[in-house]
Amino acid sequence: MTSDAAAKVIADFTAFSATTRRRAPLYSSISARIADAPLLLNLMLSAPETARVPVNLFAAVHDLLLADRSDRLARFYPNLTRHPDGGDPMPEFLAFCSARTPQLRASLATRFPQTNEIGRSALFLAGFDHLAAGPKAHLDLGASAGLNLMVDKLAYRSGDGRVLGDSDVILDCSVRGEPSGLAERLPDIRARLGLDIAPVDPSDAAGLRWLKACVWPDQADRFHRLEAAIALLERNPVEVRRGDIVDDLGEAVAAVADRGHPVVTTSWVLCYLESERQLSWLAELERIAAGLDLSWVWAEAPAQVGVLPVAPQLAASHTTILGVSTWRDGVRFDRTLGRCHQHGYWLHRL
Ligand X SMILES: C[S@@+](CC[C@H](N)C(=O)[O-])C[C@H]1O[C@@H](n2cnc3c(N)ncnc32)[C@H](O)[C@@H]1O
- The residues of the shown chain that bind ligand X, judged by CB under 6 A, are 115-117, 120, 142, 144, 148, 195-198, 244-245, 267-269, 272-273
Give yes or no for a contact between 103 and 96, defined as CB atoms under 8 angstroms apart: no
- Nearer of residues 41 and 211 to ligand X, judged by Cβ: 211
**Shortest Å distance, C-beta 299 to ligand X:** 7
Q: How far apart are CA 238 and CA 202, in angstroms?
A: 8
Which secondary structure element, helix H or strand E, spans residue 68, and what is its range?
none
- Nearer of residues 81 and 342 to ligand X, judged by Cβ: 342
**Shortest Å distance, C-beta 199 to ligand X:** 7
- Nearer of residues 215 and 289 to ligand X, judged by Cβ: 215
**Shortest Å distance, C-beta 114 to ligand X:** 6
Give yes or no for a contact between 285 and 258, defined as CB atoms under 8 angstroms apart: no
- Using CB atoms within 10 Å of the CB of residue 262, give its burial: 0 to 12 exposed, 13 to 18 middle, 19+ buried: buried
- Nearer of residues 45 and 228 to ligand X, judged by Cβ: 228
Query: Which residue type does 148 have?
Result: N
- Nearer of residues 42 and 280 to ligand X, judged by Cβ: 280
Residue nearest to ligand X (CB): 142
Residue among 58, 65, 71, 59 at smallest CA distance from 29 = 58
**Shortest Å distance, C-beta 266 to ligand X:** 7
**Shortest Å distance, C-beta 275 to ligand X:** 13
Q: How far apart are CA 128 and CA 326, in angstroms?
A: 11
**Shortest Å distance, C-beta 182 to ligand X:** 17
- Nearer of residues 81 and 115 to ligand X, judged by Cβ: 115
Buried b (16+ CB within 10 A) or exposed e, 286-304: eebbeeeebbbbbbbbbeb
